[in-house]
Chain A
Amino acid sequence: MEIHTYEKVWLALSLVLIVGFIATIAYGASAGPGIDMIDDKGGTVDPATLDEHPKFGDPGIEKTGENQYDVYVVARQFVFEPGTSEPLRVPEGSTVTFHVTAADVIHGFEVVGTNANTMAIPGQVAEFTVEFDEAGEYGILCNEYCGSGHHVMEGTILVMEQSEFDSWYEQQEQQTGGEN
């Protein structure tokens, strides 16, 4: 099969480009930037009995170690729990592992203006870890169409100073402790 020299040059360059793209992505996933994908490590959950779930039954933040936290979030039409009615509070300088699932239909969980972005699918738990370096505020929105009120589904993440967060967290612990 006869191929013009120029086209052979182009074909070779195209292959280099493709390999270059794949190499860039592999670099991003490597130890340097260390970007991890949302995958199946979060496991599954029964969406019908979410209320009885030990974690998703009362979603929120939980301290798991020095500067280490787990956050459980339930997305349902048209709120994030927590996030919408009260902000999702995390301390600055912490490493937070999110566990996001959906109670009814497929939702999205996007921290506005950042690379933290996942789907929330009923029955699946999206598990991902991010680092909050500085105190501040982020918006959260649902970026997958989830019904007629989709456009009002939003929330906030409040990154608090460590001392402020600690006193809030203690108060929370006491309250839930008191209820039990």
Chain B
Amino acid sequence: MKFTKARALVLIAFSVPLAIELRTVAGFFNVELPLIAVAVIEFLFLALLFVLYGLYGEGSESPA
């Protein structure tokens, strides 16, 4: 299964609610996560996604 732009976009979309609710989940374990931590985690996720896209994304196999 190829890592297409569309799949990357959908993954980004689904990461947003998870990131927002991360603080609630942390709250259940009595961890107070500051907003900036969530922003950093989301940023790292996006960076990872970009790297993966670069390695396995549509362009890498150049089917055209």
Q: Do chains A and B touch in the complex (CB under 8 A)?
A: no
